[in-house]
Structure 1
Amino acid sequence: MIAYVEGKVLELGETYLVIQVGAVGLQVFVPSTLRAKARAGETLVLFTYLVVREDLMALYGFETPLEREFFGLLLGVNGIGPRLAISILSVLSVDAIRRAILSEQPEVLSRVPGVGRKNAQKIILSLQGKVTAEGLEGVRPMAEVDQEVLEALTSLGYSVVEAQTAVQSIPKDAPMDLEERLKLALRYFST
């Protein structure tokens, strides 16, 4: 397995990068967040995952070994292929995925294009014993009012990750009033 690649970015595709390693150019599919940061000519280090199937041989690259690990975990879920797994990692951070799994929030995962409610529930059921809360602050099930705040923020154009981070920033002792909690979440973006 090719676990690590370091080389110069030769080409920026819509969903991939071409990385020059010696005299070889490797096409590496990457999350859109990494693709947006990459610049032609710069040297890049990617932690890679090689997918080999009867009809496919593709290399997927990530900024951290943890992202690569989660890609592998997502591939282990029945019905989740490499394209959908990379889409999930393009929209949600590893911490957001972990929170959604540990808090049993399929609605967070189902906001990723291509992930329906059933797939989101499958991901949660499949990965619940494999994901830990280590390093996550105060993982707790999201209250219904906070779910409404999350939906309001995403409808205003914030990404799921941004909205979830804003909801997590609401003080624990804040009133459970929707309007007040939404104001507090919006304050997060003004700081």
Structure 2
Amino acid sequence: MISSLTGTVESVGLNHAVITVSGFGMRFSATPQTIAGLHPGEAGRVLTSLVVREDSMTLFGFASQDEREVFDVLLGVSGVGPRLALAVLAVHEPEAVRVAASSGDDKAFTKVPGIGPKGARRIVLELTDKLVPTGAPTAGADGDRGGVVEQPWMDRVLEALTGLGWTEKDAEKAVRDTVRHEPELEEAGDVASVLKATLRHLGQGQSSRSGR
């Protein structure tokens, strides 16, 4: 089993990257947060989890042991596959997932595209006693990864968001709203930064709607 990759970052995409190890290019899927820490031509290291299916073998990469552990536990929930587990970690930090699971906060999981109220309740039920908070601080109080935008990076950000499950219409509106509130993002033009800020914005918006 491949438990980690250490080598030169060959390429970076929106939700995947390739690290060259001893002449072999190893491609893996990862959250935007993990991808943001990898830079082509530089040394990189990720912890990994290999998901084997009847017709495929897919490698997933993580920036920390905690992220990988939460991912593996999520895979044990009925109805949660690797893509959905990765989407959970794209919206919430590992510690936020632990807190939500241990406190029975099913609304936190409905912030993830592809998870409805029924699925969220099932996740909380099955994760009881399996994820225990460590006491580590999270990015915000709720634990989220928290003008007209016409920039070269717009299509890449929209592609990543639709790949995580949001509709193109909702994704585009969220990006525009995010950049309107954080204009420095547009000036920087960094795909990873805009993507992380938009995910945070989407999570806050879903939290507001669920509280009505």
TM-score after normalising by structure 1: 0.70
Deviations 1:91-127 (A, max 9, x none): 1001111111122111111101112112211111111
Which residue of structure 2 aligns with residue 41 of structure 1? Answer: 41
Contact kept? 2:70, 2:131, Cα under 8 Å: no
Aligned length: 148
Deviations 1:11-64 (A, max 9, x none): 112210011001100111111111123211111111100011102201001011
Structure 1 stretches lacking a partner, 5+ long: 147-154, 164-191
Matches within 5 A, 1:1-191: 1-135=1-135, 159=200
The structure that has the greater radius of gyration is 1
Identity %: 37
CA distance in 2, matches of 1:43, 1:10: 9
Which one-letter code corresponds to 2:48 in the other structure? T
Contact kept? 1:91, 1:160, Cα under 8 Å: no
Contact kept? 1:29, 1:59, Cα under 8 Å: yes
Partner secondary structure for residue 41 of structure 1? coil
Q: Which has the higher contact order (CA 8 A, sep 6+)?
A: 2
Structure 1 stretches of 4+ with a deviation exceeding 4 A read 155-158, 160-163
TM-score after normalising by structure 2: 0.64
CA distance in 2, matches of 1:119, 1:43: 39
Contact kept? 1:9, 1:18, Cα under 8 Å: yes
